[in-house]
Chains A and B, each alone.
Chain A
Amino acid sequence: MKPIILQGHERAITQIKYNREGDLLFSSSKDNKPNVWFSLNGERLGTFNGHQGAVWCIDVDWTSTRFMSGAGDNSCKIWDCETGKELCTISSASSVRTCLFSYSANMAVYTTDKAMKQPCEMFIIDTRIVDDSSSGQQPIFRIPISGPRISSILWDSLDEGIITGHENGELIAWDLKSGKQINRVKDHDGLVNDMQWNKNRTMFVTASKDHTAKLFDAKDLLLLKTYKTERPVNSASISPIMDHVVVGGGQDAMDVTTTSARVGKFDSRFFHMVFEEEFGRVKGHFGPINSVAFHPDGKSYSSGGEDGFVRVHTFDSSYFEYNFDY
Chain B
Amino acid sequence: MAKKKADEKSNSNDDDSKNENDYSSNDEEPNFSDSDDYVDDISDEELLGDILKTKPKETDGVESVIVVDGVPQVGPNRIEKLKSVINKIFAKIGTIVSEYYPVNQDGHTKGFIFIEYQTPAHAAEAVKLNNFKLDKQHTFQVNLFTDFNKYDKIPDKWEPPEPQPYEGQNDLHYYLLDSDAFDQFAVVSGLGQFVQIWQHSQPDPTVVEDRHSWTQSYIKWSPLGTFLATFHKLGIALWAGPKFAQYRKFAHANVQFIDFSPCEKYLVTYSPQGDPDHQKIMIWDIRTGLEKRTFQPEGPTAWPIFRWSQDDKYFARIGSNNDALQVYETPSFGLLDKKSIKISGIKDFNWSPTDNVIAYWVAEDKDVPASVTLLELPNRNEVRKKNLFNVADCKIHWQKSGDFLCVKVDRYSKVRKEKNETKYSGMYCNFEIFHMREKQIPVDSVECKEPIQAFAWEPIGSKFAMIHGESPNINVSFYEVRVGQAPIILKKFDKKACNHLFWAPSGQFIVLAGLGSNGGGSLEFVDTHEFLIMNTTDHFQMSDVEWDPSGRYVMTGVSFWKTKVDTGYWIWSFQGKILKRINMEKFAQFLWRPRPSTLLTDEKQKEIKKNLKKYYPQFESKDRMRQSKASKELIEKRAALMEKFAVYRDSRIQEYMDSKARRLQLRNNVDTDELDADSDNVEEEIVEFFVKEEITVVD
Residue A275 interfacial (CB < 8 Å) = yes
Residue A224 interfacial (CB < 8 Å) = yes
Q: Is the CB of B639 within 8 A of A326?
A: yes
Query: Could you say which residues of chain B place their CB within 8 Å of the CB of A38?
Result: 687
Q: Is the CB of A275 within 8 A of B638?
A: yes
Closest residue of A by beta carbon distance from B649: A202
Q: Is the CB of B656 within 8 A of A200?
A: yes
Query: Could you say which residues of chain B place their CB within 8 Å of the CB of A274?
Result: 638, 641-642, 645
Q: Is the CB of B652 within 8 A of A159?
A: no
Q: Is the CB of B689 within 8 A of A41?
A: yes
The contact string, 1 if C-beta is below 8 Å from chain B, for chain A 88-118, is 0000000000000001101000000000000
A203 CA to B651 CA in the complex, in Å? 12
Residue A296 interfacial (CB < 8 Å) = yes
Closest residue of B by beta carbon distance from A105: B667
A203 CA to B652 CA in the complex, in Å? 9
| A20-B672 in contact given A159-B666, A263-B566 (Cβ < 8 Å) | yes
A262 CA to B563 CA in the complex, in Å? 15
Q: Is the CB of A157 within 8 A of B659?
A: yes
Residue A82 interfacial (CB < 8 Å) = no
Q: Is the CB of A103 within 8 A of B663?
A: yes
Instruction: Output the least CB separation between A112 and chain B (Å).
Output: 27
Query: Could you say which residues of chain A place their CB within 8 Å of the CB of B689?
Result: 40-41
A94 CA to B391 CA in the complex, in Å? 73
Closest residue of B by beta carbon distance from A22: B675
Query: Could you say which residues of chain A place their CB within 8 Å of the CB of B642?
Result: 274-275, 326
Residue A21 interfacial (CB < 8 Å) = yes
Q: Is the CB of B659 within 8 A of A326?
A: no
Residue B616 interfacial (CB < 8 Å) = no
Q: Is the interface of A mostly helix, strand, loop or mixed?
A: loop
Q: Give the contact-size bracket for chain B.
A: 20 to 34
Q: Is the CB of B652 within 8 A of A158?
A: no
A202 CA to B645 CA in the complex, in Å? 13
Q: Is the CB of A62 within 8 A of B672?
A: yes
Query: Could you say which residues of chain A place their CB within 8 Å of the CB of B667?
Result: 62, 103-104
A219 CA to B656 CA in the complex, in Å? 11
A11 CA to B340 CA in the complex, in Å? 74
Q: Is the CB of B566 within 8 A of A230?
A: yes
Q: Is the CB of B666 within 8 A of A325?
A: no
A20 CA to B676 CA in the complex, in Å? 11
Residue B295 interfacial (CB < 8 Å) = no
Residue A322 interfacial (CB < 8 Å) = no
A22 CA to B675 CA in the complex, in Å? 9
Q: Which of A287-308 contact B (CB under 8 A)?
A: 296-297
Q: Is the CB of A217 within 8 A of B641?
A: no
Residue B284 interfacial (CB < 8 Å) = no
| A21-B659 in contact given A104-B666, A324-B638 (Cβ < 8 Å) | no
Residue B540 interfacial (CB < 8 Å) = yes
Query: Could you say which residues of chain A place their CB within 8 Å of the CB of B655?
Result: 202, 219
Q: Which of A51-105 contact B (CB under 8 A)?
A: 62, 103-104
A203 CA to B663 CA in the complex, in Å? 17
Query: Could you say which residues of chain A place their CB within 8 Å of the CB of B652?
Result: 202-203, 217-219
Q: Is the CB of B663 within 8 A of A296?
A: no
Q: Given B648, B653, B663, which contacts A157 in the complex, CB threshold below 8 Å?
A: B663
Query: Could you say which residues of chain B place their CB within 8 Å of the CB of A325?
Result: 631, 635, 638
Closest residue of B by beta carbon distance from A295: B675
Instruction: Output the least CB separation between A58 and chain B (Å).
Output: 20
Q: Is the CB of A224 within 8 A of B663?
A: no
Instruction: Output the least CB separation between A136 and chain B (Å).
Output: 27
Query: Could you say which residues of chain B place their CB within 8 Å of the CB of A296?
Result: 675
Q: Given B565, B648, B659, B672, which contacts A158 in the complex, CB threshold below 8 Å?
A: B659
Q: Is the CB of B645 within 8 A of A158?
A: no
The contact string, 1 if C-beta is below 8 Å from chain A, for chain B 663-677, is 100110000110100
Instruction: Output the least CB separation between A259 and chain B (Å).
Output: 8
A120 CA to B631 CA in the complex, in Å? 50
Instruction: Output the least CB separation between A43 and chain B (Å).
Output: 8
A158 CA to B642 CA in the complex, in Å? 28
A224 CA to B655 CA in the complex, in Å? 18
A296 CA to B672 CA in the complex, in Å? 12
Query: Could you say which residues of chain B place their CB within 8 Å of the CB of A103?
Result: 663, 666-667
Instruction: Output the least CB separation between B676 and chain A (Å).
Output: 9
Q: Is the CB of B540 within 8 A of A224?
A: no
Instruction: Output the least CB separation between A184 and chain B (Å).
Output: 21
Residue B55 interfacial (CB < 8 Å) = no
Query: Could you say which residues of chain B place their CB within 8 Å of the CB of A159?
Result: 666
A325 CA to B635 CA in the complex, in Å? 6
Query: Could you say which residues of chain B place their CB within 8 Å of the CB of A21?
Result: 675
Q: Given B540, B641, B649, B663, which contacts A263 in the complex, CB threshold below 8 Å?
A: B540
Q: Is the CB of A262 within 8 A of B635?
A: no
A325 CA to B540 CA in the complex, in Å? 32
Query: Could you say which residues of chain A place their CB within 8 Å of the CB of B645?
Result: 224, 274
Q: Is the CB of A224 within 8 A of B648?
A: yes
Q: Is the CB of A158 within 8 A of B666?
A: yes
Most buried by A among B642, B659, B675: B675
A224 CA to B645 CA in the complex, in Å? 9
A241 CA to B574 CA in the complex, in Å? 41
The contact string, 1 if C-beta is below 8 Å from chain B, for chain A 261-292, is 01100000000001100000000000000000
The contact string, 1 if C-beta is below 8 Å from chain A, for chain B 615-642, is 0000000000000000100010011011
Q: Is the CB of A262 within 8 A of B675?
A: no
Closest residue of B by beta carbon distance from A228: B583
A324 CA to B645 CA in the complex, in Å? 15
Query: Could you say which residues of chain A place their CB within 8 Å of the CB of B653?
Result: 200, 202
Instruction: Output the least CB separation between A216 and chain B (Å).
Output: 12
The contact string, 1 if C-beta is below 8 Å from chain A, for chain B 499-519, is 000000000000000000000
Residue B662 interfacial (CB < 8 Å) = yes
Q: Is the CB of A202 within 8 A of B672?
A: no
Q: Is the CB of A202 within 8 A of B583?
A: no
Closest residue of A by beta carbon distance from B687: A40
| A41-B659 in contact given A158-B666, A230-B566 (Cβ < 8 Å) | no
A157 CA to B639 CA in the complex, in Å? 31
Instruction: Output the least CB separation between B669 and chain A (Å).
Output: 12
A278 CA to B669 CA in the complex, in Å? 40
A326 CA to B635 CA in the complex, in Å? 5
Query: Could you say which residues of chain A place their CB within 8 Å of the CB of B641?
Result: 274-275, 326
Q: Is the CB of B687 within 8 A of A41?
A: yes
Query: Could you say which residues of chain A place their CB within 8 Å of the CB of B673?
Result: 200
Binding site for A on B (CB under 8 A): 540-541, 565-566, 583, 631, 635, 638-639, 641-642, 645, 648-649, 652-653, 655-656, 659, 662-663, 666-667, 672-673, 675, 687, 689
A sample of 24 cross-chain residue pairs with beta-carbon separation below 8 angstroms, ordered by A number, consists of: A22-B675, A38-B687, A41-B689, A62-B667, A103-B667, A104-B666, A104-B667, A106-B666, A200-B656, A202-B653, A202-B655, A218-B652, A219-B655, A263-B566, A274-B638, A274-B641, A274-B642, A274-B645, A275-B642, A297-B675, A325-B635, A326-B638, A326-B639, A326-B642
9 smallest CB-CB distances across A and B, nearest first, come from A326-B638, A104-B666, A202-B652, A326-B639, A274-B645, A41-B689, A200-B656, A326-B642, A275-B638
Q: A325-B635, A325-B638 are in contact. List 10 more A-B contacts (CB 8 A).
A: A62-B672, A202-B655, A203-B652, A217-B648, A218-B652, A230-B565, A274-B638, A274-B641, A275-B641, A297-B675
